[in-house]
Amino acid sequence: MAKIEALGVDVGSTTVKMVAVNDHGEMVWHMLEEADPRAADQVSRFLAEAARRFGSLNGVPLVATGYGRKLVQQAARQVTEISCHAMGIYAELGHGGTLVDIGGQDSKAIRISDSGKVIDFAMNDKCAAGTGRFLENTAGRLRVPLQEMGQDALSSADEVPISSTCTVFAESEVISLIAQGIPVPAILKGLHRSLVKRVAAMISSVGLTAPLMLSGGVVKNPAIRAMLAEETGSAVTLPDHPQLMGAYGAALYALRIAE
Amino acid sequence: MNIGKELNYQWQVNVLGRSALRLNRILMARKAGKGQLGKSRLLTPPLNTSIWTKELIGQHYLRGRYANSHGKVAWVTSGAPIEFLKALDFYLLYPENHGALCGAARAAEGLSIEAEKAGYSRDICSYARTDIGAMLSGKTPVGRLPKPDLLLACTNICQTVLHWYRVLAHHFQVPLILIDTPFIYTEMTDHAVAFVKAQLEEAIIVAEKVAGKPLDPRRFKEVTRLSMLASELWLELLRRNRHRPAPISVFDQFTQMAPIVEMRGEASTVDLYAAMLKEVDQRIEQGIGVVPEERLRLLWDNLPVWYRLRYLAEFLGAHGAVIVASTYTNAWAELGPQMDPEHPMESMARTYMYPILNRGTGEKLATMRQMIQDYHLDGAILHSDRSCKPYSVGQMDQRDRLMRQDDLPALLLEADHNDPRSYSEEQVANRLTAFMEMLEAA
């Protein structure tokens, strides 16, 4: 059984992630669940699971990140998602550049220096139209499983523009497009474009250093990856576990405490 | 003059009110003596002279409450050329300052809703909505506002005032003087100065008519001199923050600046700032800073978030971060050197074309760059103010240039100076924390 030195937890709006690292800072275990409104209980459960696998967690520091980080009483420290994502992706990919994280309820662009430090960041947490919620909402309306909508969008040669910049109004726009008999994949492609354009604008506000690094649950969607490359004109690169970069970075911060 | 009303004014303002305010000052001074002034554990106690500021502002609104029974009243914009009105003994009410006071007292949202109910859009400046709401409902935390006999709006701060003051003029059925200050893209031209001067000459005629007396040139010069002295002292006060640790945070300046805006041209304002400067110098001598351990020195651009001043000061204070310079408090400081009491008309035209919002956005960038040098800044917070478009326009570019050309980390913080409905504390806190982490790691 591997020995763990530090833990990180990312209490996000959509999912909760925990990562354990060894003394080399390598990710040796992780756990991911849909977010429970009782975040504190959920984190306790995660920790119990870690203890079951690795034995006592005494002396294993925990750092919390994500919107719910303040709820994590067991954490030795709380660090923002900005710092944690930068820390995690830099450790994993080994270079600086521009990182885009598209989560369930917010998205952010972070410019990371060659030495792994945050130089600049921009966040979109005012409007759901630049986040995963935008796709989730409309996927529900189109009755397309979330996991398949990216592939469906890419399969379409046609694309209809979605002019609404608001998630709620985009939904009513989608309804009227369906009523006009527009094929679902063409609508899906338009929806992805709409989201990607918003994210691309955010990227340009911090500046793009290629290749564009991606993290967050939404980048598992192949259409998002392809269209972001298209819109920014840059190749995109992903870590093995894009959803875990925040928790991984938190664990690396915890490792500093352990050391 | 109605003798009964005048007696009531003297009794309420100069006997009862003044005594109550003086008593309050004595009690607060006693508290300060025991080290009980200010409740923050993160910040050093406020300046003792802040008690005096509070008394002056209290007196100002007290006089306002009874002003209609005593003399003539004018409502004016924050950057209006007021020296001739002051010399004609008008009581001056600044709706923007009153708006800020409502913001700090958490009354602005309710008043804005009063204006919105009457059909004013939420996209209009929250000062304008607060003021129109107060006008329509008669509600104010200061008890009562005097009705204007005259309105004076100057376009050197924004174009909203044009429409806002027309609404006031229509409501109160009083004359409106509009001073149009040509925008300065690069330099102030002589014909622009002549244009503003000509408007001021006409304005004086209207004001004299309303006041019922002619303007005394000696008094005009004296008021201009007092405005200049107060502005110069204010400038010196801000400059003291070049010291490390900084003796007076910009959050304190936001509250201490009220007299330089709404009581300039008065001798008591000059006395106050002279005393404040003395106290600040004492703090410098004793090495007293805004926070026990100053680690980060920041700039603030744009208006304050009036309803969250202390929260933001403490939030930053917890990281050892102090806002040491701001383009906003500086706006009244940089007017002083433009004033010339010997040539009040000419200098008034120049002075009131000079405010930062009446000059190109490059000028603001240049001011910020100078501040990086003068104040040894580690970063900048640019408040993107939902309500103040003229102040917020250009901030994206300014931030970009500060970051890239001046290597100064800068954060754009979205909020509103007076409307808490356009402010999300969780998101503000998250951005600020990430910014602090970024600066601390640098």
With 0-12 CB in 10 A as exposed, 13-18 as middle and 19+ as buried, what is A253?
buried
Cβ atoms of residues B145 and B98 within 8 Å: yes
Name the residue among A67, A117, A123 with its Cβ closest to that of B442. Answer: A117
User: Is B409's CB within 8 Å of A120's CB?
Assistant: yes
* ipTM here: 0.90
Q: Which two tokens stand for residue B354?
A: 């000079």
CA nearest to B316, candidates B307, B324, B327: B324
Q: Is the dihedral of CA B416, B420, B422, B427 positive or negative?
A: positive
Could you report the per-residue pLDDT of B355-364, keeping only the tens digit for each?
Answer: 999 999 999 9
Using DSSP bridges, classify how beta strands A97-102 and A107-112 pair: parallel, antiparallel or unpaired.
antiparallel
Cβ atoms of residues B251 and B310 within 8 Å: yes
Name the residue among B400, B409, B427 with its Cβ closest to that of A125. Answer: B427
**pLDDT level of residue B380 (50, 70, 90 thresholds):** very high
Residue A104 has pLDDT above 90, yes or no: no
Distance from CA of A66 to the nearest CA of B (A): 10
Residue B1 has pLDDT above 70, yes or no: no
Q: What does the alpha-carbon distance between residue A229 and residue A238 come to, in Å, rounded to a whole number?
A: 12
Confidence (pLDDT) at A43: 97
Mean pLDDT of chain A: 92
**Is B407 part of the contact surface with chain A (CB cutoff 8 Å)?**
no
Using DSSP bridges, classify how beta strands B410-415 and B379-385 pair: parallel, antiparallel or unpaired.
parallel
Convert B51-92 into a string of H (helix), E (strand) and C (coil).
Answer: HHHHHHHHHHHHHHHCHHHCCCEEEECCCCCCHHHHHCCCEE
Q: Beginning with the edge strand found earlier in the chain, give each strand of the sheet holding B296-301 in spatial order.
A: B321-326, B296-301, B379-385, B410-415
User: Is A118's CB within 8 Å of B437's CB?
Assistant: yes
Q: What does the alpha-carbon distance between residue A36 and residue A80 come to, in Å, rounded to a whole number?
A: 20
User: Is A119's CB within 8 Å of B409's CB?
Assistant: yes
Residue A171 has pLDDT above 90, yes or no: no
Residue B39 has pLDDT above 80, yes or no: no
Residue B412 has pLDDT above 80, yes or no: yes
On chain B, the residues whose CB falls within 8 A of the CB of A126 are 414, 424, 427
Domain ranges of chain A: 6-86+244-258
Residue A79 has pLDDT above 70, yes or no: yes
Confidence (pLDDT) at A135: 85
On chain B, the residues whose CB falls within 8 A of the CB of A96 are none
Which residue out of B413, B424, B437, B440 would a mutagenesis test of the A interface target, given it has the greatest number of A Cβ atoms within 10 Å? Answer: B437
Mean pLDDT of B89-115: 97
Runs of H (alpha helix) within chain A: 39-54, 81-93, 132-142, 146-155, 167-179, 184-206, 222-232, 245-258
Confidence (pLDDT) at A109: 96
With 0-12 CB in 10 A as exposed, 13-18 as middle and 19+ as buried, what is A56?
exposed
Contacts of B294 (CB under 8 A, 6+ apart): B244, B245, B246, B320, B322
Residue A142 has pLDDT above 80, yes or no: yes
- The single-letter code of the amino acid at B102 is C
Residue scoring higher pLDDT (B30 or B85): B85
Cβ atoms of residues A142 and A130 within 8 Å: no
Residue B22: helix, strand or coil by DSSP? Answer: helix
**Max intra-chain CA distance, chain A:** 62
Q: What does the alpha-carbon distance between residue B300 and residue B412 come to, in Å, rounded to a whole number?
A: 10
Name the residue among B396, B434, B442 with its Cβ closest to that of A80. Answer: B434
On chain A, the residues whose CB falls within 8 A of the CB of B402 are none
Q: What does the alpha-carbon distance between residue B53 and residue B258 come to, in Å, rounded to a whole number?
A: 8
Residue of A nearest to B407 (CA): A119
Q: What does the alpha-carbon distance between residue A217 and residue B48 come to, in Å, rounded to a whole number?
A: 54
On chain A, the residues whose CB falls within 8 A of the CB of B384 are none
Name the residue among A119, A123, A207 with its Cβ closest to that of B431. Answer: A123
Residue B176 has pLDDT above 80, yes or no: yes
**Is B405 part of the contact surface with chain A (CB cutoff 8 Å)?**
no
Confidence (pLDDT) at A1: 62
CA angle B144, B150, B154 (to 5 degrees): 105
User: Is A205's CB within 8 Å of B396's CB?
Assistant: yes
Cβ atoms of residues B76 and B155 within 8 Å: no
**pLDDT level of residue A15 (50, 70, 90 thresholds):** very high
Residue A210 has pLDDT above 90, yes or no: no
Contacts of B41 (CB under 8 A, 6+ apart): none
Number of Cβ pairs < 8 A linking chain A and chain B: 43
Residue scoring higher pLDDT (B98 or A211): B98
Mean pLDDT of A96-106: 91
Q: Which residues of B8-46 are buried (b: 16+ CB within 10 A; e: fewer)?
A: ebeebbeeebbeebeeebeebeeebeeeebeeeeebbeb
Contacts of B371 (CB under 8 A, 6+ apart): B299, B325, B327, B330, B377
Cβ atoms of residues A194 and A159 within 8 Å: no
Mean pLDDT of B56-79: 96
**pLDDT level of residue A163 (50, 70, 90 thresholds):** confident
Q: How far is CA B38 from CA B55, B56, B308, B315, in A?
A: 16, 19, 16, 16
Fold assignment, A6-86+244-258:
Nucleotidyltransferase; domain 5 (3.30.420)
Confidence (pLDDT) at A172: 86
Distance from CA of A119 to the nearest CA of B (A): 7
User: Is B427's CB within 8 Å of A82's CB?
Assistant: no
**Max intra-chain CA distance, chain B:** 69
User: Is A118's CB within 8 Å of B438's CB?
Assistant: yes
Which residue out of B412, B425, B433, B439 would a mutagenesis test of the A interface target, given it has the greatest number of A Cβ atoms within 10 Å? Answer: B433
Instruction: Calculate the dihedral angle through the C-alpha atoms of B239, B244, B250, B256, rounding to the nearest 10 degrees.
Output: -60
Which residue out of A90, A121, A203 would a mutagenesis test of the B interface target, given it has the greatest number of B Cβ atoms within 10 Å? Answer: A121
Could you report the per-residue pLDDT of B223-237, keeping only the tens digit for each?
Answer: 999 999 999 999 999
Q: What does the alpha-carbon distance between residue B25 and residue B59 come to, in Å, rounded to a whole number?
A: 12
User: Is A83's CB within 8 Å of B441's CB?
Assistant: yes
Mean pLDDT of B139-158: 97
**Is B2 part of the contact surface with chain A (CB cutoff 8 Å)?**
no
User: Is B437's CB within 8 Å of A80's CB?
Assistant: yes
Could you report the per-residue pLDDT of B241-291, keeping only the tens digit for each?
Answer: 999 999 999 999 999 999 999 999 999 999 999 999 999 999 999 999 999
Distance from CA of A83 to the nearest CA of B (A): 7
CA nearest to B273, candidates B287, B284, B261, B288: B261
Crossing angle (nearest 10°) for helices B425-441 and B309-317: 30
User: Is B430's CB within 8 Å of A83's CB?
Assistant: no
Kindly report the length of chain A: 259
Give backbone dihedrals phi and psi of A24, rounded to 5 degrees, phi first: -90, 0
* Domain coverage including residue B286: 3-441
**Is B373 part of the contact surface with chain A (CB cutoff 8 Å)?**
no
Contacts of B366 (CB under 8 A, 6+ apart): none
Q: How far is CA A158 from CA A149, A182, A183, A184, A189, in A?
A: 15, 10, 9, 10, 8
On chain B, the residues whose CB falls within 8 A of the CB of A81 are 430, 434
Distance from CA of A148 to the nearest CA of B (A): 32
Cis peptide before B245 (omega within 30 of 0): yes
Chain A contacts in chain B segment 58-77 (CB below 8 A): none
Kindly report the length of chain B: 442
Confidence (pLDDT) at B231: 97
Mean pLDDT of B26-34: 87
Give backbone dihedrals phi and psi of B205, rounded to 5 degrees, phi first: -60, -45
**pLDDT level of residue A258 (50, 70, 90 thresholds):** confident
Which residue out of B386, B431, B432, B439 would a mutagenesis test of the A interface target, given it has the greatest number of A Cβ atoms within 10 Å? Answer: B431
Mean pLDDT of B359-378: 96
User: Is A83's CB within 8 Å of B396's CB?
Assistant: no
On chain A, the residues whose CB falls within 8 A of the CB of B409 are 119-120
Residue scoring higher pLDDT (A166 or B327): B327
- H or E segment to which residue A31 belongs: strand A27-34
